[in-house]
Structure 1
Amino acid sequence: MGDAGTERSGLGRRAVRIGSVTLRHTASALGGAVFRRGRGGSVSARLAKRAPAMLTELGPFYVKVGQLLSTRRDLLPERWCDELGRLTDTVPPPSREQLEAVLAEEFGPAADRPFAEFDWEPVGSGSIATVHRAVLTDGRVVAVKIRRPGIVPLMSSDFRLAGALARATGRLPGLRRLPAEEMLGQIGTAVLAQADLAAERDALTQLRANLAAVKGVRLPEPVEGFGGDQVLVMEFLDDLREFRPEPYRPEERRDAMRRVLRAVYQMLFLDGLVHCDLHPGNLRLDAAGEVVLLDAGFVVRLPDQVRRHFGEFFLRMALGEGRRCADIVIESAARVPADCDLEAFRTEVEQLVGDASAVVAAEFNLAAFAPRLFKLQRRFGIFAAAEFAFPLLSLLVLEGMIHSFDPGVDFQGEAVPVLMQALSGG
């Protein structure tokens, strides 16, 4: 059997495995819905509840896709987004033998490797890579991120199979308006990019340069000359604390949140290179109270037009100019149905922005605003381009932390100076 035949055979086996897992979880959900009818056990609710377990069993590609889909409230019902938001990718690490094999590919035999010490027990273990503490032969303490062996072919196969499913889904009645194939293409590409550790090294370097002027914000520095697309070597940042309010004083919390917001707004509105995965696990505080951003695997480059559209939307929302907000959503959309009532959409967005503008700045709630906007988009069939949706939804991840740190923070007001600089061409 040739290479093409072997590949088809492998895809076939993987398709059977995916079908088997999917059918088992679906049957369990449907059976539960039958027995719980009339007691909150609807089919949709049961399927949504089973989704995290099913995607976890299917593997890292599906876990990552589920995590990203959980942010797409413009596309999926809130129940599904809530359930998918429970997905985690903390999984057991590979064996030492498997890790040894990756290091041998990157650095050669043990005697030629640049490590005087290497801790095989990882300090972090995700679905795509593990992170280990090590000491270089020159004495520098480093963090070594190692991609799981065999993960790229598996994820690539799953991407191809999911693409075929998305194309089939797009032909079903009632789902033809949903941009399933485009959505999977954007999300799947972002997921596969997280396995490229050479790209992450470049992203870290660029983010460090872009954010150098933001005081009190740090990112680990990649170590030049080591690693490739399977291994990333960077400085080991010690004495890091979880990103939580205790034990900091109110003024320290406010300073920390302002630094986070300044960094995020710099990325979103000025640089266009955006860290889209700033959940609590990827944020830390060091002993001096400085903010540390970790794991630059999910970094998106915004096209200039998208960056300006996003910045203007945020500014117009802060100023209460709902009609212009609606036009920006339309102009930046991935798809607008030919029969869409655009005037009705503008009217409803104007009302939504007007309602948000009626509250005082400290009480503005993006987590309440965004789902209402997404519901409108879903009803009118105006689906956001991923390049536009991801930055907005990265702010949603931050908002809960922001208000827990400093309930009085002016989420929009902190953005205005950066927005004015961005929109003036600065």
Structure 2
Amino acid sequence: MGAEAGSAGLGRRAARIGSVAVRHLGGALVSRGGTVLDRLAGAAPAMLDELGPFYIKVGQLLSTRRDLLSDRLCDRLGTLTDTVPAPPREAVAATLTEAYGPAERWPFREFDWEPVGSGSIATVHRAELSDGRVAAVKVRRPGIVPLMRSDFRLAGAMAGTTRLVPGLRKLPAEEMLGQIGTAVLAQADLAAERASLERLRANLADASGVRLPEPYAEYSREQVLVMEYLDDLRDFTPEPYTAEERRDAMRRVLHTVYRMLFVDGLVHCDLHPGNLRLNAKGEVVILDAGFVVPLPDRVRRHFGGFFMNMAFGQGRRCAEIVIESAAKVPEGFDRAGFVAAVEELVGESAKVVAGEFNLAAFAPRLFKLQRRYGIYAAAEFAFPLLSLLVIEGMIHSFDPGVDFQGEAVPILMRTMGPSEHAS
């Protein structure tokens, strides 16, 4: 009976997805203006947004895969956000009851039902604990886990059909979905987020000017994360800070991100302005650890090696790292042609004045080369790339003159060693 109910639920969800897709994509096909591909790409963000958090997050990650997808589609997917209206009070109360039992057993003296933050997977509320501490309480949306699991299963079935479509047979769709989908599903496990928050706090304990909220393990559950409430936070906007204060803050942000990525092998893929703040002391505050992905050591070293050699203008070594780390290298691969093309690209970037390097412009050109020569990057590379692209956009708006590559070099030299860029 349970299996039948599950199958029926999966069927209803599939019908819902089909209905949403037909409405958005069908509307794009019959509309006028631009090419068909432009109209379909334009319809994608609204369609994925309506389908929910699983598709939103997958779309955000796919927006980095310009080695596989068209520029116009990647540009459109890059506009996806996951800020959505909060659920009704009754739904939040139902989750708290699931976590703690009847209301008289909840560990709160006071609980603000109006959230201070609302995302596609959870809402965040201010509360006073029974011991008097003020806490931020992250509450998972009811029903979000089975919905996301159903979407993962359905997306897996669709990914398998790409082998039947001419032009898509070489696309590693199932591998990509396996890597990306697993990371997306993990965001709904607030116990896992608490573990990530604890790990980040331990790793960054000696980092000056960086702060993360302390999780309160005794009050936290799989569907509820209770943590220290940090107030007097300020948005990452240039005013009212001086140029020196902005530069100092951005260096701390970059050093923190690079340390997580190149030293600790952890990627925070969601460091947008809503999750990254400054406090009254000028410290950088990371509020959320839901989308933190551990990197396999080989990916960490390959990504770090590429980034360091790019900073030193070593195009040949950059090309070799791309080949070494590729998920697929085609038969008859024109190695010499690819190496020469990457050398030219990296050489052009090396001539850019420090502070004017733009990863968002460099990455698409590199991916176009990979697509031209038939090289597919390993799926795990989507995570560090997304992390850096998200943070780069914010940094350039806050302090346009920061040396995005240069700030990474000391950390990379200590981590990778001088031999990595010797060639």
Distance in 1 separating the partners of 2:305 and 2:53: 35
**Once the 2 structures are TM-superposed, how far is the Cα of residue 378 of structure 1 from its aligned partner?**
1.7
Structure 1 residue 74 corresponds to structure 2 residue 73: no
Contact 2:64 2:385 in 1 (8 A): no
Following superposition of structure 1 onto structure 2, how do residues 3-402 of structure 1 map, counting pairs within 5 Å?
3-32=2-31, 35-36=32-33, 41-402=34-395
**Once the 2 structures are TM-superposed, how far is the Cα of residue 27 of structure 1 from its aligned partner?**
1.3
Contact 1:214 1:262 in 2 (8 A): no
Which string of whole-angstrom CA distances, capped at 9 and with x for unpartnered residues, describes residues 388-407 of structure 1? 23213311222222223323
**Once the 2 structures are TM-superposed, how far is the Cα of residue 345 of structure 1 from its aligned partner?**
1.2
Distance in 2 separating the partners of 1:130 and 1:257: 28
Alignment partner of 1:307: what SS?
Answer: helix
**Once the 2 structures are TM-superposed, how far is the Cα of residue 362 of structure 1 from its aligned partner?**
2.2
Which string of whole-angstrom CA distances, capped at 9 and with x for unpartnered residues, describes residues 114-167 of structure 1? 100000111111111010000001110000001111111111011101111111
**Once the 2 structures are TM-superposed, how far is the Cα of residue 205 of structure 1 from its aligned partner?**
0.4
Gaps in structure 2 of 5+ consecutive residues? 419-423
Alignment partner of 1:247: what SS?
Answer: coil
Q: Give percent identity, aligned residues only.
A: 73
TM-score, with structure 1 as normaliser:
0.95
Distance in 1 separating the partners of 2:216 and 2:384: 29
Distance in 1 separating the partners of 2:36 and 2:290: 35
Contact 1:74 1:374 in 2 (8 A): yes
Contact 2:61 2:382 in 1 (8 A): no
Contact 2:236 2:398 in 1 (8 A): no
Which string of whole-angstrom CA distances, capped at 9 and with x for unpartnered residues, describes residues 281-328 of structure 1? 221111111111121111111111211111111111111111111111
Alignment partner of 2:274: what SS?
Answer: helix
Give 2:330's aligned amino acid. Answer: P
Distance in 2 separating the partners of 1:59 and 1:400: 25
Give 2:262's aligned amino acid. Answer: F
Distance in 1 separating the partners of 2:64 and 2:149: 22
Contact 1:69 1:81 in 2 (8 A): yes
Give 1:230's aligned amino acid. Answer: Q
Q: Which moved more, 1:200-209 or 1:101-110?
A: 101-110
Give 1:309's aligned amino acid. Answer: H
In structure 2, what is the equivalent of residue 406 of structure 1? 399
Give 2:405's aligned amino acid. Answer: Q
**Once the 2 structures are TM-superposed, how far is the Cα of residue 354 of structure 1 from its aligned partner?**
0.8
In structure 1, what is the equivalent of residue 421 of structure 2? none
Contact 1:143 1:236 in 2 (8 A): yes
**Once the 2 structures are TM-superposed, how far is the Cα of residue 172 of structure 1 from its aligned partner?**
0.8
Alignment partner of 1:127: what SS?
Answer: coil
Contact 1:170 1:181 in 2 (8 A): no
**Once the 2 structures are TM-superposed, how far is the Cα of residue 386 of structure 1 from its aligned partner?**
2.6
Q: Which moved more, 1:69-78 or 1:292-301?
A: 69-78
Distance in 1 separating the partners of 2:396 and 2:8: 52
Alignment partner of 1:371: what SS?
Answer: helix
Contact 1:170 1:179 in 2 (8 A): no
Distance in 2 separating the partners of 1:229 and 1:343: 51
- Aligned-residue Cα RMSD (Å) equals 1.4
Alignment partner of 2:217: what SS?
Answer: strand
Q: Which moved more, 1:299-308 or 1:245-254?
A: 299-308
Give 1:5's aligned amino acid. Answer: E
Q: How many residues align?
A: 418
**Once the 2 structures are TM-superposed, how far is the Cα of residue 45 of structure 1 from its aligned partner?**
0.7
Give 2:311's aligned amino acid. Answer: A
Give 1:291's aligned amino acid. Answer: V
Distance in 2 separating the partners of 1:222 and 1:383: 39
